A and B are shown apart, each in its own frame.
Chain A
Amino acid sequence: MKRGKKKGLFATSYLTLVMIVLYVPIILTVIYSFNANKSGTVWSGFSLKWYEELAGDRSLKEALINSLVLALGSCFFAILIATSAALGMRNRVSKLDKVMSYMSSLPIMIPEIILGMVFLGVFSFMNIPFGMVTLMISHTAFCIPYIFTMVQARLEGMERNLEEAALDLGAKPWEVFRDVTLPAIMPAIGSGALLSFAMSFDDVVISIFVTGARTNTLAVKIYTKLKTGVTPEINALATVILLITIIMVVLSEMIKERTKTKEGDSI
């Protein structure tokens, strides 16, 4: 036992230490969001006043709604485009498909700043007014790769004969899709969508370039506020966002777990 234990102890303490550092800013944010003190550097008692202020801030509420609409919308379009393409590209060998899927993955491979710059340039060239539409297009662009790769991987891992069995049993092609294919790729769509939602909700760099004067997203708003220094109100806002994130992570873990047990059953 002694030999193995020593190494285990080192690994465990290392993992724990890094984990703690990972959570320092998050925990501090939560703690300080309940701080009554205005300056934020000293602790002077528990208070909910920053949350009250948050609830009263109309421009923040607007930004939040914008962010949600944007994240949900771009997720929706990305799911439609990416899933149908993944299905269409299945079982065919086409050079063009390869080129296009590579090209569609560029938005998450090149630095965000370039993407922002590129979109700014091309939208003004196309004369599309900056605002929700431009935001939606650019966010859809970087959401597509997440969903596309996940769905494609799932389709590749899927047993072909399931669909053939359904056909053999008399299902029409669209019924096969509805009853066999779609349920199989659903988890991939789900986790891809959650990830893109998080990315869209979080995005600052691209949004800064393509947002209009009157459409603020929450992330952009926080960014401008952070540049001028931290206010306790931001801590409260950050805590709310954190809560949303945790819910999403738990959701995605649940999706993963469900697919795993399902697959386990079929073996």
Chain B
Amino acid sequence: MSICFDILTTAALLFIVTSGLMMIFGVMQIVNFSHGAIISVGGYVSFVLAQLGIPGWYGWIFAFLVGALVGALMERLVVRPLYKRPLDAILATWGLGIVMIQIITICFGRGIQFVDAPLQGTWHLLGTDYSSYRLVMIPVAFVICALLVALLNGTRFGVRTRAVIMNEALAESLGINAGLIRFITFSIGAGLGTLAGMLITPLSSVDPYMGVTWLTSAFMLVMVSGHSFLSLLFTCLVFSTFQVLVSTYVNPVLGGMTIAVLAAATLRIRPRGFSRD
């Protein structure tokens, strides 16, 4: 039973960490290489909030806002001039990631910071004790997914965003401000990144490089799942199943590489990955 929880919670965490990257990639076709640094920012936001005595749950909204602000600045200053040069855009975001991590290091030091988890201990569920915080991540992932799907499918903003994804020139000619759409999606994507950073702090350490370890898995998941959040959710579930199974029954070292290797293989065989179109 606990292996099922392992799979589900791992998938949930992967989804939470990847959703921000997905938001940006889905709309802008740009892989945001500073995502790792943005996750770290989230960790430090939760650290600062804890220092100020603001309880964890409220911090989630705050973390999102900080990330969105960082994302907005990034989009304006760095990404916008590079729309026509996507490879340069990812390099610039990468460089920006280095800068952000160094700034964090200079401000907070290289050492590890500590934040108390908002929820500790275990819950007894289906005949096994399991970490309550990890279990909470499952509904959190679903809520994030539902919100994003609702945003993209049920709102005016979503319609416009999809129009930009499908045919930008046409969308522009219909009076949709593609620049604004990108600005907003980039901000939301970065906000989701910091939120993810905050959400994972009770399970990982808070240090300048905390986000970087998630980066490759997140990249691969996004490449494989294409454009929709539902397929991302599905991909996370499939790959985390493999990861947990390999880690449990074969070798955790191999388990760490499972997602990267599987994703590369999937894309080699089926370039469209898990996306339906």
Q: Is the A/B pair a real complex?
A: no
